[in-house]
Structure 1
């Protein structure tokens, strides 16, 4: 069913299947809620409050309830209830992030230009992570600063270092150098993502994360589950930028060989922007949907004190995105 019976706080798509997770993430990254008026937002919040109190007006449909929840979740932080700035919402990630990806993939970037785009990309990521953080527990600002500085430093160092080595190499022709140079943003961003995850979530490795039974009841706090969550998330962050930073360069290298683009070089930037937008809009949710956010782990692999308080064979934990 396109709009199943409404359940507050749940997804209307089956999260046990890739197709359901993909459609859920497409729904989250839909940019249309960016233009929601304050009046529409207030009406959506009021409708959800009426649902909670079992006082819905006659004629309200499940479709209206699902759309009201989508509007609220795309604009307000779930913990603080405050508005998230437009560039740092899930619904704003593609429209505000695409120009940055286009900038990183421009041909023949100078070192200052490369530093600027890598800095801007990591700054956008840092603000996005902070704006969508878990605010149920206080997190020192120093941890976000450390993650930001680590990500910026690693991204710029690798991008500039690889570019310098490529330009100084005598083993490649100018055309080959240009081709290889297109793919430099990927290792820079991937390494920065790993650095960011390890620095930002270091407290989970030292303090552990909650593990729950199938009903969502917290059984205990596990450092073993935390290590698996952080490492798997770091692995996911390596996969995420691959389609965004590899597919457009391949597409553009093929288009540049066509007679049309050779005769009309002014269309290079619009075509590059279109390739980045399509990759961003489809590949990003597809990559995130590969792995469920909530992972399971055999109880026998966890700490003895957790094994002692439950008879469940497997427990569940929030891996993170």
Structure 2
């Protein structure tokens, strides 16, 4: 993320007011913009250099070109490590990466083996995305990651197979209702396991805590700048389990907020479209139309879900463990990276 770049001058956090939901939505639209995936290494280095020049005072003010550079850098680099997130696991690639797995899960007439295979693929992708975008204060060992992965896969497969077997037994429902429910099965498994996956893959954060930092006043920032330092030079107050529980819980909730509209809207719209003469005459178009509905809904919903909670979370120090009380920054507040 741009905050990790050298230079004593602080970059503005966003073009938009991150204290408001709609400001965060507009900011998240930039972070999830798939066009940033087209920027190659040379382009990324150019964007980084523009921001470094601003932070070192060589460029006097933010310009449209600098805002674009910040969007590219923020959507590419991890906020804790300053290193690029592997392309398929960036939030700007979230919809496209998930669409591949979704297409597999929606194949008609999937066998039990096929259902299990695609749920495994889905959870593997979830593990990679959650790990790549987590707070890096605490990391899972390979053993812990394998254990959490096995539990997430077991739950997702259990939900998918259980619901798939349950729907045909609902004799009291009409055929159209059973059709709708059968279309919701893959997404119900995705939503359930998606939230659980976050909780499992980031469990180490809740066990050991994450770094929290004092919120700096304008005077503190001016002092840092005069010393040639940045926010990155501010020492952590320590690791807080309370902050970790909040961060992980909010991220899990945002996954549910993201998947729920995708669970509901495309299946219901598709059922209606299948009653039209156009789609009845073109049954081969059902899958492409369904994927198009999922793609459009996913792109629309993702920024809305990510913006529900701020990525840089600011809370009162009194909400943390007693050892942090009285040690907050401006207004008794601390800040930490929630992760995405």
The interval holding the TM-score normalised by the smaller chain is: 0.7 to 0.9
1:249 aligned partner: 267
CA distance in 2, matches of 1:313, 1:30: 35
Check the 8 A contact 2:137/2:211 in 1, yes or no: no
Please show how residues 16-95 of structure 1 align to structure 2 within 5 Å: 16-56=19-59, 62-80=63-81, 82-95=83-96
2:4 aligned partner: none
1:264-304 alpha-carbon deviations (Å, 9 max, x no partner): 22221221121011111011111221222344555444433
Change (3 A) 1:228 1:100: same
CA distance in 2, matches of 1:275, 1:260: 16
Check the 8 A contact 2:127/2:201 in 1, yes or no: no
Structure 1 gap ranges (5+)? 1-5
CA distance in 2, matches of 1:130, 1:303: 26
Change (3 A) 1:161 1:131: same
1:13 counterpart = 2:16: yes
Please show how residues 111-260 of structure 1 align to structure 2 within 5 Å: 111-135=112-136, 139-215=140-216, 218-260=236-278
1:93-125 alpha-carbon deviations (Å, 9 max, x no partner): 222322322333445433233223222222222
CA distance in 2, matches of 1:80, 1:292: 19
1:274 aligned partner: 292
Change (3 A) 1:71 1:211: closer
Check the 8 A contact 1:155/1:189 in 2, yes or no: yes
Check the 8 A contact 2:21/2:308 in 1, yes or no: yes
Change (3 A) 1:75 1:279: same
Secondary structure in structure 1 of the residue aligned to 2:308 = coil
CA distance in 1, matches of 2:251, 2:266: 24
1:306 counterpart = 2:307: no
CA distance in 2, matches of 1:248, 1:265: 17
Give the aligned CA root-mean-square deviation in angstroms. 3.0
CA distance in 2, matches of 1:132, 1:228: 16
2:223 aligned partner: none
Aligned residues between the structures? 314
Q: Out of 167-176 and 93-102, give the one that drifted further.
A: 167-176
TM-score, normalised relative to structure 1: 0.84
1:189-240 alpha-carbon deviations (Å, 9 max, x no partner): 2221232222222223222334444328755543333333333333333222
Check the 8 A contact 1:190/1:238 in 2, yes or no: yes
Check the 8 A contact 1:122/1:151 in 2, yes or no: yes
Change (3 A) 1:304 1:76: closer
CA distance in 2, matches of 1:317, 1:79: 10
Change (3 A) 1:139 1:251: same
Change (3 A) 1:212 1:46: closer
CA distance in 1, matches of 2:158, 2:121: 14
Check the 8 A contact 1:186/1:245 in 2, yes or no: yes
Structure 2 gap ranges (5+)? 1-8, 217-230
Higher relative contact order (CA 8 A, sep 6+): 2
Change (3 A) 1:42 1:94: same
Deviation at 1:151, TM superposition (A): 1.8
